[in-house]
Structure formats: structure tokens, C-alpha cells
Amino acid sequence: MSNGYDQAEESAKKKKKIAVIGVSSIILVAMVVAVAVGVNGSSSEESGATGEISTSSKSIVAICQPTDYRETCETSLSKAASNTSDPQKLVQAGFQAAIDSLNEAIKKSETLQEVAKDPMAKQALDDCKELMDDAIDDLKTSFKEVGDFDASKLHEYVDNLKIWLSATITYQQTCLDGFENTTGPAGQKMKEILTLSSQLTSNGLAMVSGLADIIRDLNLAEFTGRRLLNDKGLPSWVTTEKQRLLAETAATIKADITVAQDGSGQFKTINEAVKNIPKKSNTTFVVYIKEGIYEEQVTISRSMTHVMMIGDGANKTKITGSLSYAGGVQTFKTATVSISGNHFIAKDIGFENSAGAIGHQAVALKVQSDMSIFYNCQMDGYQDTLYSHTYRQFYRDCTITGTIDFIFGDAAAVYQNCKLVVRKPLESQRCIITAQGRNNSREATGFVIQNCTISADPAYFRLRFRNAAYLGRPWRQFSRTIIMQSEIDDLIHPEGWMPWMGSVGLDTCSYSEFENRGPGADTTKRVTWKGIKKVTPEEAADFTAAKFIDGDLWIPATGVPYTPGMIKE
């Protein structure tokens, strides 16, 4: 009988795409190797301490060969291995080392805070601590998810890990973003501090991206199943109660908490109500916000899961604020409403940042909530209106207004049947709808704008040819956006897309248009960067909600209108 580890190595050689290590992702590759050994048989020749060390070292070299940062991979795993060939112990040790690296980065950032003099740099360091905490939480969640390994859930694990690791990469980049236009050495030092953790997460994402190929090579067909649905055909986290709630209106719904400025609810402000939201709940908690303009900055933290907010209408229930970068606040903290708790749902609510075009970066809504839904909502602002920061997001029948990069971030987000309205900018400004921030070619992120309308606000309409509007620009090197089956008015410049800064990202971005209509949909005069992709119907189908964000597993049961594939006339 041949040695199982040799067979696993042979499989790895055949697939040079496989990349491994880093945080939670290495757990899965070790599990696959372990199962391969069990399936194909293992040799008794390599027993004892010497055999364990040999097997461990050999496995590390083979595993790390195709990673982006091989030396980092081999060094970190060698330290974590502790002379063991037990895959579970190996990956747990490596996982903890990665978390320790981020914890060390937090400590060093606190030291930088003591010497930083630039007020904006101090804010950036505060943001970095929060963002690194978020990254650590994702890694811990990944570890918990795959620690109790179940082969039938591997597809679910792979999809989740790609999203979570993409977010971890984004959080580290967002930390560094905060130091743009600041003085002093803090930004460069922070970049150096995050080098190791950035490499580890990049390697980890590479491994996860190749997991499906590993499984296919090993013929482990039983690993390919999806089992997110419960016995009733609903996603595991969706109850029949949640399905019923989303089908109702504010007039008929029975809320857990009601907010009303006239005193007819338990609370007069949203922030008072938020204090009473249970932590880490698996049961939908409904907050009904009655008609009114609420001048508040609201945060739904990571610990507030399964929260639903419902209003009396996007133009009747509005949450508004005016924090802005021009006003001395880092973009990350300008959001009027910030959502971080997973499985968040909003219906019939308006989100606004009223700082105006003169405020420059001024976020109305920031979303870091996995499997979050916004239905019949409105996001109003100018520059950076909607910060679709991380994870899987679905927007249906929403209106989003702004001037520059007014849909930005690095989420895997689908905007379906939405109205994208360009507003009047400052005198010398051009308008850009999207600025997607994918920073690694393997990230499972991008913006999909499907069956939407792109039009001009009345105040902008007469200026639309002077202050040209564009579909997007590459905020990061691998920025990805597809506009499909949408109505595009004549406000869009014939070139369609504009550069961010010089040639950055023009060859590596992925921008596509598919089956659009209207005077602005003519692609004959579009820019001809390498990053402009013509997609086939089959390729476009990969960006539909069912495939791109696993929409079938969590959207239909909520009662929100939803088209899983292409929209038919």
C-alpha cells in the first residue's frame, strides 16, 4: 500500500494553484490532508518521534510551496509545529500564532498613539485598534467554525472562509488608509507592523481559493455538499418568525422595541433603544422606528446579531448626521449609521449624511454585516454615501444618491432593482458612482449592480455634460464591478470608467457591462484598459445573487423580493 502523505503531496504537485497557511484556512487544508490519508491508507513506517518530525517538515514544505509568501509560511508553521505531524495540533498552533501577531500589532499601535502628534493620525490609530480587533474576531470565528470538522459542510466552510479572510485583508488595509494625508511616521510604522499578518492572511486566502481543486483532485465527492438549510428548507439561521416579520409592515408588526419621538414608544431616541438589544442572539430582535427625523449617530456592534430595523418609509423614518472628513473626522468614523452585527435587516428606513459636497468624505451608512439585507431603504449623501465595507450584502429596491465614489468599499454586494442617483457636485468635480476596494486577486468580493437605474438628480441634470459622471474607478489594484441588465441614462461619459491615480489598477481591475440599456449604455467609446472585461452570458451568471453571495441560502426565506439569477423581461 502506498503512503497516504505521498499521495497527498503528489496531488499538490499536480495543482500548482493550491496555496496554503495562514490563520483559520490552514485548518481546512490539514483536514483535507488528514482525510486523504484516511481514504487512501497510511503507512506504519513513519512512526515514532523521528518520523513525526520528518513528516511534519515534509508536509510544511509541500504545503507552503505555492503560497504568495513562502518563507513566511514555512517559518510560521515550523515554529507552530512543535515537532508534531498531527494536522489538528499543527493548524491550531499556527492559527494561534497568527492571532498573536495581530495582538502584538495592537500593542505596538498603542505605543504609536503615545507619540503621534497629528490629530488625524491619532484617530487613525484608534481606528486601527478597532479594525484589528475585528480581524481577530473573524479569525476566531473561522477557527470555531471549522474546529469541529464536518465533511458535508466543506462548501459552506470554503465560502465563509473566503469572505472572512477577504474581510481580514480589508480591515488591515482600512487601517492603513487612515494615515493618508497625515503627518509624522505613524503611517509607515503601522504598515511595517502589519506586514506579517498581511502576508499570513494573503497566504490563507490563496489556500482557501484552491480548496475546491484539492477536493476534486482527491475525488472526495462527499465534501462538495451544501447543508445550510434546515428541515423546513430555510437557511439555518432563519426562523419562520423572521420570514413572517419581513412580510409584514410597520403598521402590523409586533416589535420588541418601538422608538417614537412623540413618546408613544418605549424610547424617544434610537441610541436609547440600541442599549437594550440583546447580545449574540440567534433570534430576530425587531426595532420599529416610527416616522421622524432622528439626528443621531447609531452603531449596531458586532455582538448585536439578528437585528431588524423597520421604519414607516424611507422618506418618513430618517436617521441623519453630518460628520465629515472636511470637519476633521476620519472617513471610517463619519458614518451616520454603522452596522457590524451579522444578519442585520433594514426595511423602509432612510440613512443620510447631510454634510454636503463641501464636506468631502461623509458616510451615511457603513455596513460590516455578513448576510445583511437592505430593502426599500434610501441612502443620501454626496461623497462616500454608502460604505459597503465587508462581507455579503444584498440591497433591493433601494435609492442611493451621491456625487463621488458614493458606493465604495470591499464587500461582496449585490444591488438589485435599485435607483442610483447622481447629485450636483462642487464646481470642479466629476462624479463617480462606484469605487470598489478589492486589494487581492483572490478576494471573493466585488460590486454587482443588476437591473438598476442610473440617472441624474434634477439639480445635476443641466450640468451632467460639464461635470461628467462615470460608472466607477479602481480604488484598489483588483477593484471589481459589473453593471448588468441596468438602465443607464446619458449622464455617463462615453468612456464609462475613469482612472483613480495614473495607471494604478488599470490592467488588474475587473470592470464589465452586460446587457444594459439606455443612452449611457453604449460601450463603443469605452476606455480600453486591460481591466475592462467583456463577459459571456455564462460568466455574467457567476455574478448573480445566487452564485456570487450564496443568496439562495439566506435571502428568499426572509420574504424580501429577490431574483437569484438573470432578470427576464
Distance CA 198, CA 196 (A): 5
305, 281 contact by CB (below 8 A): yes
> To the nearest 10°, the Cα dihedral for 249, 252, 255, 261?
80
Which class is 55-218 in CATH?
Answer: mainly alpha
Q: Which of 348, 370, 380, 405 is catalytic?
A: 405
Q: Do domains 246-397 and 403-555 have the same CATH topology?
A: yes
Ranges of each domain in the chain: 55-218, 246-397, 403-555
pLDDT reported for residue 38: 37
386, 405 contact by CB (below 8 A): no
The set of cell numbers assigned to 565 is 439569477
The set of cell numbers assigned to 221 is 465527492
The set of cell numbers assigned to 99 is 492571532
The set of cell numbers assigned to 322 is 453630518
Nearest to 367, CA basis, from 351, 391, 334, 398? 391
Over the chain (569 residues), the average pLDDT of each successive run of 10 is: 44 41 44 42 44 64 74 80 58 66 91 88 95 90 64 72 91 96 93 92 76 54 45 42 59 87 96 97 94 98 96 97 97 98 97 98 98 98 98 98 98 98 96 97 96 98 96 98 98 98 96 98 98 97 96 90 91
The one-letter amino acid at 228: L
Q: Who's near 308: CB < 8 A, 6+ residues apart?
A: 242, 245, 246, 284, 285, 286, 287, 344, 345, 346, 347
> To the nearest 10°, the Cα dihedral for 448, 453, 454, 457?
-140
CATH number for the 403-555 domain, one of 2.30.42.10, 3.40.190.150, 2.30.40.10, 2.160.20.10? 2.160.20.10
- Range 246-397 has CATH code 3.90.700.10: no
Distance CA 136, CA 341 (A): 15
Distance CA 113, CA 34 (A): 45
Residues in the chain: 569
Catalytic site residue 384? no
541, 441 contact by CB (below 8 A): no
The set of cell numbers assigned to 562 is 429577490
Taking the CA atoms of the chain, what radius of gyration do you get in angstroms? Answer: 24
Q: Which DSSP symbol is given to 278?
A: P
The set of cell numbers assigned to 529 is 484598459
390, 175 contact by CB (below 8 A): no
User: What are the CA-CA distances from residue 6 to residues 25, 47, 436, 549 (Å)?
Assistant: 22, 15, 42, 36
Q: Who's near 434: CB < 8 A, 6+ residues apart?
A: 405, 407, 408, 447, 449, 471, 472, 473, 481
